[in-house]
Structure 1
Amino acid sequence: MSIIEINNFSQNFGDKLLFEDTSFVLNPGEKIGLTGVNGAGKSTLLKIIMGQVLLDKGTFYKNPRYRIEYLDQHAEVKGEDSIKEYLCGAYKPLFDAEKKLNKINEQLATETNNDKLERLLNQSGDLFEYLTANNFYAIDSEIEKVCAGLGITAFGLDTPVKNLSGGQRAKVMLAKLLLESPDVMVLDEPTNFLDINHIEWLTKFINSSPKAFIIVSHDSHFLNNVVTHICDVDNNKINRYVGNYEECMATKEARRIQHEKNYEQQQREIKKLEDYIARNKARASTANMPHSRERMLNRMDIINPPSEQIKPTFSFKYKDFAGNLVLKVENLVVGYNNDPLLKPISFEVENGDRVAITGFNGIGKSTLLKTIIGELDKISGTVTIAKNIVIGYYQQETDFQLFEGTPLNYVSNFYPKLTEKDIRASLNRSGLNSVHCRKQIKQLSGGEQSKIKICILTLKACNLLILDEPTNHLDVFAIDRLREAIAEFKGTVIFVSHSKPFIKDVATKIIDLEKL
């Protein structure tokens, strides 16, 4: 029996149609990758599955025997709990049972009534069996194993959760969900804040788990290694494929080509019928002949035209630079409040280099970039940037929830001299249509918000791009175009990315902070 069934449903988000007469099903043990371009409706589907959004039309069934939990990376974590205390919350029913067991054991020490004593002994035995069966006495080792796998151990299990960065908090929330081990785990962009080693650990964890997963990710390499099915959101439909990501996308492409052929063939047939009807209706002697062709045309099951997705065309403006050495870093120590994150770093970047900065999450990659551009003060050492270098910086974390306004307003804040027409054209080249431009920025998907940040970057002529996790939230089409735009850029690029394929395709030099 299936765990989730959503049948023949339609759904709008505001005035935008997301789904029309389509269906979704999840069966036990399936690992489904939910794919589609930014804004296709993936997040809305997850909210429907979690009961946060009601269906506009259709039927929804969730098997009550199965527990479903959702990784919401944007949820607030309140309170003073340390990481260890927060993760222990994954085992709350077990800790509650232990408290009950301890209380019963205290009663056993003073109880003299034989009947009550026997009842307490039975309760104590049942609770002990429950705790043992659920591996209660190995909780510490389970927490340590997951924390090591996701790189949480590096920033200390005694650290208060409220003191963590957004990326660190997302990793801790993922760890808690994995420790809770519900029947279905819904993961929305789980690799966004994971480094390569931690993605590999998560891949092994998912592959070895008998549980069902629904995974939204634009990391095609990760999806290819974990999914058993793909549900692709395209043209208001959910198309289900069996196999890994590459196999499913190959099937999708074959279907797309066949659909285009069928559509074009039908359009030619329709044109012939319409021409025949028009010619014969014009002559009195043949006016009755077209009736059969009209009936044929009316009975025809019309094939919808192939969907046209807005694909970005990123292009970075280049400002001339004639020198060779772009950046020189000597014995640089970075950190916060004179507390170093790294040993002293020294390296050089030459004109035209594509430099990937790698290392585990929390090691200091973003801190290094912010120190290079002067956003953070260095603890010691020197950063020498060549004269006439103009930097274009892509920041990993931007809190759009605090901004009241549309993408047009947001871009205008950076470039007040641009006309609305020019801003619309720039946003459109970044993959955002007129509907996106009119929406409140906080209502857009993470990928659409990322395209706004890239749009701002494309409007500035520069010769050094510094990009902090630029592929986060972007769909496959946008990542491909970003890769091409970087290749076409005549300047120098320094970037941080957790995507192994992106690093392989883009980088000409790698600086691994773990090996310095």
Structure 2
Amino acid sequence: GKINCSVLFDYFPYPVRDPELFTEEILMEVCPEAEEWQIIRELSYLEVDDGVLYRPFCTLSNGEQTKVLLATLFLNEGHFLLIDEPTNHLDNKARKTVSDYLKKRKGFILVSHDRNFLDGCVDHILSLNKSNIEVQSGNFSSWMTNFERQQAFEETQNERLKKDISHLKQAARRTSDWSDKVEATKIGMGPCDRGAVGHKAAKMMKRSKAIEERRERAIEEKSKLLKNTETADDLKLITAEYHSDTMLSFSKVAVCYDGKEICAPVSFTVKKGDRIVLDGKTGIGKSSILKIIMGEKIEHTGNVNIGSGLIISYVPQDTSHLKGSLSDFAKESGIDESLFKAMLRKLDFERVQFEKDMSALSGGQKKKVLIAKSICDRAHIYIWDEPLNFIDIYSRIQIEQLIKEFSPTMIFVEHDEVFRQTIATQIIKL
């Protein structure tokens, strides 16, 4: 293909050549024409203290790095910004801040799987469908509503045409058979009688051909339908039955770093069927709380009581440990390989990916490996740490439907607001 453009493009995330440099130096590389006061102004819109400019870039949190690079890239006048997955390292508050910031900016294409984030900052959707590419005015929710309506309409049309084609096929066969039978009666008749019968047979054959043409048109019309349908097989989860209604409890637990509490003490009890989301800003200790449950030696105050014999299935945030074959991974994890790969197929994993080393998989594919493994675990409780990073929207919806249908007991950390609202039964704020 060919791309015609009249502007320069900038890409986010910007490739930082030396993270040890001061942030101000890096930003001057990103936008040489920018004045310091302009950068400080943009940072204020994104709720970032201008003190970050005078620190090494590598000392900034992932969220701060995202914000300072975005702010500076927008200062390149006349450039069109291509923003690729900006939310992966942002907590809920930061996502809202960045979404509000982007809503006031013009001239960008954004790739994101966060439905709430998209609704907050875009006014058009560029949809890469299976059979075409379309641009539609509106946000993600309006596009999704229109897409589902179109699919429902096409499914109705498809069923109608399927019946029409079957009826027309039978009608064409009957008419053709009648024509042949009438033609056969000409034998032994006089010339006048044979002419009348031949005329009648010809009319029947003409009608048969007309019916066949209608059938072919219906087949052609049917072939144009449902080309963009996104089908997703239902996932299944079988949990283990725990002997008690209460699985674990926290009493005045606070995560510590160098002897200092980094979050306020929390107390909560997890019972069967609870789906608890841990909420709080980046760095407040959400992942550490999950790791404490997993038995890692994390410094903390308070008391943690884990039920005896509790089987836990864990999806970590980090995927860098995934190496080797999927078959070996299934064996080491103690899960059924056929079931594991069937789950991956339902999560839109191509069969060709089964032969790859896991280290060569994309970020989203690695997350799907961990989620599929967890689904195959027969556990009492499921602990998921930001499971949806890099996961596409249709797979997110699949996972939501799975959790709603099978109601596993869960504690999770996730910043996708739609996912949280759909499945969480309780919010614990840190």
Could you tell me which residue of structure 1 aligns to residue 429 of structure 2? 512
Compared CA separation, residues 238 and 174, structure 1 to 2 (3 A): farther
Query: Residues 10-89 of structure 1 correspond to what in structure 2 (within 5 A)?
Result: 58-63=1-6, 66-72=7-13, 78-89=18-29
1:326 aligns with 2:248: yes
The one-letter amino acid of 1:230's match is I
* Cα offset, 1:469, TM superposition: 1.4
2:69 to 164, 173, 176: 176
In structure 1, distance between residues paired with 2:367 and 2:396:
11
Pick the structure with greater CA Rg.
Answer: 2
* Matching residue's letter, 2:333: F
Aligned amino acid, residue 61 of structure 1 = N
Matches for 1:112-127 after TM superposition, within 5 Å: none
- 1:366 counterpart residue number: 287
RMSD of equivalent CA atoms = 3.4
Q: Secondary structure at the match of 1:498?
A: coil
* Structure 1 letter corresponding to 2:222: I
Asked if 1:291 corresponds to 2:224, the answer is no
- Extract unaligned runs of 5+ from structure 2: 184-200
The 3 A distance-change label for structure 1 pair 343 and 59 is closer
Distance change >3 Å, CA 322–CA 84, structure 1 → 2: farther
Contact 1:81/1:161 (<8 A) preserved: yes
Matched, 1:196 2:92: yes
TM norm structure 2: 0.79
Structure 1 residue 487: Cα displacement: 4.1
Are 2:248 and 2:269, in contact at CA under 8 Å, matched by a contact in 1? yes
Give identity over the alignment, percent: 24
Instruction: String of CA shifts for 1:268-319, please: whole Å, max 9, x gaps.
Output: 3333333233334445235843334444555663433523523441525234
CA drift at 1:143: 6.1
Q: Is the 8 A contact 1:77 1:161 kept in 2?
A: no
Deviation at 1:190, TM superposition (A): 1.8
CA distance in 1, matches of 2:316, 2:16: 21
How many angstroms does 1:224 deviate by?
Answer: 1.5
2:333 pairs with 1:414: yes
1:5 alignment counterpart: none
Please give the residue correspondences for 1:145-184 in structure 2 after superposition, counting only pairs within 5 Å.
145=44, 148-149=47-48, 160-162=56-58, 168-169=61-62, 172-181=65-74, 182=76, 183-184=79-80
Gapped runs of 5+ residues in structure 1?
A: 1-57, 95-133
- Written as runs of structure 1 = structure 2, the 5 A alignment for 1:295-374 is 295-298=213-216, 301-304=220-223, 305-306=225-226, 307=229, 309-315=231-237, 317-324=239-246, 326-335=248-257, 338=258, 340=260, 342-343=262-263, 345-352=265-272, 353-374=274-295
Written as runs of structure 1 = structure 2, the 5 A alignment for 1:156-305 is 160-162=56-58, 168-169=61-62, 172-181=65-74, 182=76, 183-209=79-105, 211-282=106-177, 284=180, 285=183, 286=201, 288-289=205-206, 290-298=208-216, 301-304=220-223, 305=225
From the superposition, tell whether residues 205 and 422 of structure 1 become closer, same or farther in structure 2 (CA, over 3 Å): closer
Q: Show CA shifts across 1:9-40 (max 9, x none).
A: xxxxxxxxxxxxxxxxxxxxxxxxxxxxxxxx
Q: Which residue of 2 aligns with 1:399?
A: 320
Question: Residue 138 of structure 1 aligns with which residue?
Answer: 37
Pair 269,410 (structure 1): closer, same or farther in 2 beyond 3 Å: same
Structure 1 window deviating more from structure 2 (140-149 vs 211-220): it is 140-149
Distance 2:263 2:155 in 1: 57
Equivalent AA in structure 1 for residue 4 of structure 2: Y
- Report SS of the residue matched to 1:232: strand
Q: Is the Cα–Cα contact under 8 Å of residues 23 and 53 in structure 2 kept in the other structure? A: yes
Deviation at 1:442, TM superposition (A): 5.4
| Pair 1:294–1:509, CA change in 2 (3 A) | closer
- Give yes or no for contact 2:234–2:402 (8 Å, CA) kept in 1: no
TM-score for both structures, normalised by structure 1: 0.67
Deviation at residue 81 of structure 1 after TM alignment: 1.9
CA distance in 2, matches of 1:312, 1:153: 48
Aligned to 1:427: 344
- Equivalenced residues, count: 399
Report the equivalent of 1:51. none
Is 1:321–1:463's contact at 8 Å kept on the other side of the alignment? no
1:224-260 CA-to-partner distances (Å, cap 9, x unmatched) read 1211111223333223221122222222122112222
Change in Cα spacing, 1:468 to 1:331, as seen in structure 2 (3 Å) is closer
